[in-house]
Amino acid sequence: MHRGAGTGTLDEQRIDAVPRLEFERIAGELPSARLVWHGAPPPLTTLIEVFSALGLQVITHEVSGDELRAVHRFTFRPTAFLLHERTAELIADAFLAAVDTAVEVDGLIGLVGTAGLAWQDVVLVRAACRYLRQVGLRLSEVTVTEILSAHAEFVRAFVELFHARFDPARTAGRAGSVAAADAAVQRRLEAAATLPEDQLLRGLYTFCTAVLRTNWYLQGRAVAAFKVDPARLSISAPVTPYREIFVHAADVEGSHVRGGAIARGGLRWSERGDDFRTEVLGLMKTQTVKNAVIVPTGAKGVFVARRGSDPATVESAYSAFIGGLLDVTDNIVDGVTIPPAHCVVYDDHDPYLVVAADKGTARFSDLANGIAVSRGFWLGDAFASGGSRGYDHKALGITARGVWCSIRQHLAELGIDADAQPFTVAGIGDMSGDVFGNGMLETDRILLVAAFDHRHIFLDPDPDPLLSHGERRRLAGLERSSWADYDRALISEGGGVWPRTAKTIPLSPEVRDRLGVTATELPAPEAIRAILSAEVDLLFNGGIGTYVRGSDEPDTAVADPANDEVRIPAARLRCRVVGEGGNLGLTQR
């Protein structure tokens, strides 16, 4: 059995320029694999890792030929399945895809052997499981893999139901095929003997029935996109959006959620790979309030770049994410709403999709508009607000200015003229951010004594208002700046900048006096809690996350686990005014 491009054999003079994987029988029941490369093969550790993930225990390894015409012969024993001819072909395909990094190598790839799936169908199962874990499935990846491996018949039935529902080529008798596949899945649900099994299998079933359209069958797709009605899921979150588009690929993942059919909101880059959906649901809820006087409701999108955080990687992930959103969105041509040609559609016309700039995407508006224009999307360069042909959200500082109208009023009621009298501030954010960066430039009377973001802790116990204002303005104009770029010569005695990863933060007498603590050093989380509870005139939130909870609320109720270790109860607040420029900095309670 032979997989891969080319038709050559070992007896021929020519060896193909691409890898081939062949299975052959040797003495007894033990199968072996022959791998043929033109040129240097991947590292042996990579090959062994892939074989292991596929459920093949390597027994021996022999190499023949020269460096340019290497022949690798492995003997191995399947650990959890029988190696039939069809299974061998599926494994060969999956092996080559894994070596070529076209598919992720994890426990789920073992379903190729245990469930007899093509590797593309494993990607489908993985996408569904990743989404369910974002929604609220509290099972580890190891547990998910163990359950699915033990329920191979269910997995095959799930895949068949998905294809019956969404394969555009299966037009004849679709209703009957879907009904039969649905019944098969439900029969196999009865095999779930434990609560975790039932949660996972039922979750997968309802995922399949909650999907309204997908780009899965689009030729040349860069990502898999699933438009979902979350109300149909068996697993629910505290907030249930009207519609959601979940995008999945090896290098990018994310969700776009809407509170209604006509909803506006930004799209941001997140570093919360494990719970970005929690982040985006909270942001959608806040955006809905913000939009009350503009459009009916709010929307929000968030994506994570899974293969790096350098600018080029993030931009590539953003482009792929945008493409996935548009793949499952209707267009309007000459006044007529047209669904995507590759989609089997289970919902009504739904052409309204906009993406504004947000955290990490401020410079991508032209890119998003360019993608929309190139696809002929009806909104054209109005698809993404901002850019060279629209309002520059960050440059105008719209959100920050609105927040400061409230802050000035609150301070005035306390007898402080924010434009004439110095006042102390503790901050959440950094100068590269839209809200924080613009907010900290609203007046040169700010005494920013402490601040933090996800990277650094900044302490300046006795700042000069004019000098510090000028330095903040410099940082605001610096591309992708951080507190680490702050001129140390302008920081007052005893202050400084420390990374969040530091084991401890030294606290000078000046800082201890400013924060009201006695410890000479604190772990970074404790230092942040001291900043949040500092006795200042203003606590200004221009960042991301929920940092203050009700005194009777547990951290688990906040749904922001990334900040559990730095969050404080409201009773510890000693500021006179809270300026909420970010989103959900404090819980409702």
Active-site residues, by number, are 300
How, if at all, do strands 266-269 and 297-305 pair?
Answer: parallel
Contact 517, 537 (CB under 8 A): no
Q: Exposure pattern of 127-144 as b/e (b: 16+ CB <10 Å)?
A: bbbbbbbbbbbebeeeeb
Cα–Cα dist 546/548, whole Å: 6
What single letter denotes the amino acid at residue 404? W
Cα–Cα dist 450/491, whole Å: 11
Cα–Cα dist 333/40, whole Å: 52
What are residue 258's DSSP bridge partners?
Answer: 243, 299
C-alpha torsion sign, points 410, 414, 416, 422: negative
How, if at all, do strands 266-269 and 356-357 pair?
Answer: parallel
| Distance, first Cα to last Cα, the chain | 64
Cα–Cα dist 426/452, whole Å: 9
Cα–Cα dist 10/399, whole Å: 67
Contact 85, 95 (CB under 8 A): no
What are residue 71's DSSP bridge partners?
Answer: 36, 64
176 burial (CB, 10 Å; 0-12 / 13-18 / 19+) is exposed
**DSSP letter at 565?**
T
Chain centroid to Cα 119, Å, comes to 23
User: In 10 A of CB 259, how many CB atoms?
Assistant: 24
Contact 111, 117 (CB under 8 A): yes
Token pair listed for 40: 């240097």
